[in-house]
Amino acid sequence: MDDPSAPADRALERLTRADSPLRDELVAHGVEYVLSLRLRDAVDLERVRELVLQALTEANVERIVERHVRPGFLRYAKAIAASDARVESLLASATRQRMLEIARKLRIPRARWAQGAADPALLRRLLSPVWTQVLASFATRLPIPGVSGLAGAGPLRELSGMTGLLARSMQNQAEKLVDRGRSVIGGLGIDLEKRLTDAARGFSDSAAQIFRQALRERLDSDEGRALFGEISAGVAEHVLSTRFADLQEDAGDLPLDDILDVVPQVVAHAVRSAYVQEIVQRELDAYLALEADRTLGALLQELGVLSEVRAALIERGKTLATRFLESKGFADFMARLLAD
């Protein structure tokens, strides 16, 4: 009497031998079947949406940030600090020129959504001492007898500490400068005009540095930090109440077609650069060091969607498997597998 398990044993032996062409044929047929599926047939898109939303809990996102995002940022910051790579290294020479052409087309954003974002009163309180210091520095450079001592001798020194009297003080000093200029113009002649021009030119060369230094000192002060904090909070509050449609007005002014045309060139060149490849390799190594030994089930369990994903895969798998087993290619394969 024939052993009823013999055909199955023979089929299993033919599929599990080291050089099994039938097994290779089955794998190839299965892959081709999957690749021929339409996305809406292969995946239940609505179910996927539900599972993604279910997984995006605050606890899950917080864990991902602490486990992967924050360490990734710190790794990048450490690596880039020792790197000489420049932004232009991600661009081919032709792409670089194209981006410069796009930049020349850019317009100043209308930024209507930003109107009123910063409180003018707070800005005045923050910047008044800065402008006072800049103007005082300019006054000390004027080549008019007696003026160079004003900043350290009285009114201007008071001005830097009494920002509320800035306008009146500057007006008084301007009148004094004019009177003194008139009294000596006859003696100095054109030399005064030249010296004033030279003083203005010299000041313009260093004005930016003077302003930056004055602003830095202001922001380092207790009052400056407090005012900047109030301004920042006000701007944040304004942005949070802004409609996306208002933000889109500025985005709509961008030369979007030109930008999108150059994106493929940027990406294609950048991915071949050592800079990008090192980042990708470093992050893959870091991720696998943490997660490579975990099962997919464990990852889904941690996200709280294991049972739902299992049910969805089984449900969709039944349909796909039935279609695959009913295909002519699989029937032909089974005939060869079971043939004596």
Q: What is the pLDDT of residues 304-318, one digit of tens each?
A: 999 999 999 999 999
**pLDDT tens digits, residue range 183-207?**
554 554 446 556 656 666 666 667 7
Q: Is residue 2 part of a domain?
A: no
**Rounded to two decimals, what is the model's pTM?**
0.72
Q: Is residue 183 part of a domain?
A: yes
Q: Which residue has the tokens 């032709």?
A: 94
Q: Is residue 63 part of a domain?
A: no
Tell me the Ramachandran region of residue 146: left when phi exceeds 0, alpha when psi lies from -120 to 50, beta otherwise: left
Q: Is residue 132 part of a domain?
A: yes
pLDDT of 1 reads: 47
Count of alpha carbons within 13 angstroms of residue 226, beta-carbon side: 4
Q: Is residue 131 part of a domain?
A: yes
For residue 203, what are the domain limits? 120-240
Q: Is residue 278 part of a domain?
A: no
**Spatial contact of 116 and 126, defined as CB atoms under 8 Å apart:** no
CA–CA dist 221, 205 (Å, integer): 26
Q: Is residue 10 part of a domain?
A: no
Quote the number of domains for the chain: 1
Count of alpha carbons within 13 angstroms of residue 276, beta-carbon side: 13
pLDDT of 132 reads: 87
Q: Is residue 192 part of a domain?
A: yes
The CA-based diameter of the chain, rounded to the nearest angstrom, is 136
